[in-house]
Structure 1
Amino acid sequence: MALALGEGLTLADGKPIRIGIPTALQVQVGRDTIDAAQLAIDEINAAGGVLGRKLEFVAADETETPEAGINAIKKLTNSDKVDVLIGGYTSGVTLAQLPHISAAKTLYLGVGAASPAITAKVKQDYDNYKYIFRINPLNTKWLATFLVDYLVNFIAKEQGFKKIAIVGESAKWVQDLVPVLKSGARDGGIDVSLTELFDVNTSDFSPLFSKVRASGAQYLVVMLSHASSDVFVKQWSDAQVPLPIGGIDVKSQDGDFFSRVGGKALSETTQIGFMRVPLSPVTVPFWDAFVKRFNRKPVYTAGGTYDAIKAYAAAVARAKTTQVDAVIKELEKTNMPATGGQLVFDENHDVKYGQGFVTPMMVQWQQNGERVAATVAEEVAAEAAAAHVERQMKLPA
């Protein structure tokens, strides 16, 4: 069933509501998107569905290239006739997909791409891009704001590292993030001694590490998603680069990352959207259900997908129809507990950041592959600290 079939269409026909999932199926973020979708759908269907209709999904592999991403959207909207699109990973791919999503007049709830340009189109041209929402992750402006706070108030003030190097893959999300990060760090009294972006296919990082050493930096900020974090972290450890590392390392969020790199991620700290701490009433139950069913810890796209399906289902229930404009109006009113905090949208249909909304955390790989929360939202800081009282975060000298 497609949303384009007519404004008079209601839920009364009893046909399943179809969710289209465009994602990068060959990487962990894609696999977790699929599994979290199944988990959310099964929960909703077990409770009777949405106004008497079951939910189902169909996936399309967008890989990490714009051409494949566009083809995935066309398949899902034209051939599979989905009611809503939930997915995404690469910002460049999502940006290329937007005109095709708009032309199909199909809702899109993003759960993977961070570029602010994605949702900026909603305010710039509401009539054509009102279909676009971002559930997850925070956009790069807010990710940078969060990292600046971490660098200034923890790395510089508490750890005493006041000279940093910033390195990352040459991708749209990093290009958006780095200027905000540099400016904020410098305003906070931190010396940014090196900024270097590299090709995502880089396999030898020794020249980069030589530049980092020569810069005199005391702390290495990394921005990795599509590049090989496994290779990067192994080479960082093997080269005995005398700097602790931290930042955004998407593959380091994988539950098996520590074992994959033979323990060489020890002390790496990375931003993460949620862990098994009570960021909201949803967080811990979702985490436990995902681990029990799939025998692995979820990454950020899993939480975003679960939240997206629950938010969409709730909006359809309130609208009493899958008609797109009616559902958009209800989605815009969303105010619900989600895996990363309280889910509320701003005027750009972007997830709101900050206390009372969504706030990420920093986690560190420690001995035996244990991840420890280094920072959490203020309202759960005391509880998380109590849970980890015997394992205080310590960075190497």
Structure 2
Amino acid sequence: MSRLIPRRRRRLAAGVVAVSFLAACGGGGSAGGGDESGPIRIGVLSDLGSPAGESIVNAAELAAERINSDGGVHGRDFELVVRDTELNPQEAVAAYQRLGQSDQVAAAVGIRSSGSSFAIMDHLARVQVPFLNTGSATTELADMVSENYDDYKYWFRFMHNSAEIPESIMSFVSDHLQPTYGVERIAIFSEDATWTEEVRQIMRDHIEQDPNLELVAEELFDVQTTNFTPIFQRLLAADPDFIVEVSAHVNSAGYTKQWAALQPAPMGGVAVSQISSTFYDETDGAAAWLFGQHYGFPEVSVTDASADFYESYLAEFGEAPNYTGTYTYEAMMALADSFERMEPGEIGDADALIASLEDLDMTGVLGQWQFQEDHHPVFEGNREQSLMLVQWLPDNQRQVIWPEEVATGEYQPPTWWTGWGQ
């Protein structure tokens, strides 16, 4: 029987790059095959210390605990081997290589940076550890599988991609803000990163194709930026009706405070930091009236498994999961499902796991998971509901505002906003 090491004991000091969270009691064996005994090792790749990175590890831990408490897979427990990518492509490659060469994992999950995922791709065929990517949105990663299956078949995406992320945001602008409030002049405020390129292009195309919308400004910022006041002043001069924000690698608490101080226009979009249940306090309440994209939410049941996952995560870690956490939990459960459909002696065989993942048909927290030929998920019947917009309100309250079928409340413009005929 394996036991979870308490969460407080897994805080890593600077420079430490790996730790096994599950201590196996008795039994030998390898990651798979062999004598078909001992734990099944799963690698977890994450930038430790960041909210999104911590959520990857938390969710993997929660999933492993559940899988093990249910008897494991073919009687074998999951054991997590965590390696710190430091949000650095070179460190990510080194961590992935070590998972395959010395840690002997059967599969790996994680990574929230498209740059780090790209760096790993050319090492997949040599290391041969199936990698379930739970935080990288760039569509080009799936294109690589389509173009060179033999080299890149080890990669699977367990999340939405950059082409899907803008859909709910721009549909909210066109289908709600425009007809309800007369919103027309749109500004894009985005971090300058690989994953945002396609997101911004889709947003620009959407605005161009909507006769009621006009793009009046597009401002990019480096992820090291700390003073956003000049950027917001330029946006203020452009006189937008609404600002679409796009960020993941930067902590948006800093620019949220500066936005609230200048009040250039209402703002919302995709901002990963905003997902944290502590974000309101981090901004000293400046988050009020913002909305951000969430990939599941505690008060919304996309499937029968949704509420149970969020309640369990909140109880275990005292906060809601980041987007990376939800996807990582799904990936871990998909691994358990896939291993269970394999012969016991096939665990540790990369090709057998790939074939089993390609045949996956599992209903999880966010919907029904199946894969296209490029190893991007289908989310059959649940795609729109699993990309929801959540607004912060005063007094640390939140409500789901889009899409309508899962909304728990109506969007509320900032009380300080005098535009839109307020």
TM-score tier, shorter chain, comes to: over 0.9
Is the 8 Å Cα contact of residues 168 and 402 (structure 2) preserved in structure 1? no
Q: How does 1:242-391 map to 2 (within 5 A)?
A: 243-276=265-298, 277-320=300-343, 321-322=346-347, 323-352=349-378, 355-357=381-383, 359-376=386-403, 381=405, 384-385=406-407, 388=408, 391=409
Determine the structure 2 residue equivalent to 1:170. 192
Identity of aligned residues (%): 28
Structure-1-length-normalised TM-score: 0.92
Secondary structure at 2:400's aligned position in 1?
strand
CA–CA separation in structure 1 for the residues paired with 2:189 and 2:378: 27
| Residue 138 of structure 2 corresponds to residue 115 of structure 1 | yes
Secondary structure at 2:362's aligned position in 1?
strand
Gaps of 5+ in 2: 1-28, 418-422
Give how far 1:240 is off.
2.7
Partner amino acid, structure 2, of 1:200: V
Partner amino acid, structure 1, of 2:242: Y
Aligned residues: 381
**1:197-254 deviations in Å (ceiling 9; x for gaps):** 111111111111121112121100011111231110000011232x110111000101
Determine the structure 2 residue equivalent to 1:6. none
Give how far 1:81 is off.
1.4
Alpha-carbon RMSD across the aligned residues, in angstroms, is: 1.7
CA–CA separation in structure 1 for the residues paired with 2:285 and 2:335: 40
Determine the structure 2 residue equivalent to 1:209. 232
Secondary structure at 1:13's aligned position in 2?
coil
CA–CA separation in structure 1 for the residues paired with 2:101 and 2:223: 32
Q: After TM superposition, what 4+ stretches of structure 1 lie above 3 angstroms from structure 2?
A: 9-12, 353-359
**1:167-195 deviations in Å (ceiling 9; x for gaps):** 11110011121111110122123101111
Gaps of 5+ in 1: 4-8
Change (3 A) 1:365 1:207: same
Q: Which structure has more helix as a fraction of its residues?
A: 1
CA–CA separation in structure 2 for the residues paired with 1:152 and 1:318: 44
Partner amino acid, structure 1, of 2:216: S
Give how far 1:2 is off.
6.8
CA–CA separation in structure 1 for the residues paired with 2:271 and 2:258: 15
Partner amino acid, structure 2, of 1:373: V
CA–CA separation in structure 2 for the residues paired with 1:28 and 1:363: 18
Partner amino acid, structure 2, of 1:33: I
Secondary structure at 1:81's aligned position in 2?
coil
Select the residue among 144, 157, 160 that pairs with 2:179.
157
Give how far 1:102 is off.
2.8
CA–CA separation in structure 2 for the residues paired with 1:165 and 1:331: 41
**1:62-101 deviations in Å (ceiling 9; x for gaps):** 0111111111112212121111010001111111111123
Structure-2-length-normalised TM-score: 0.87
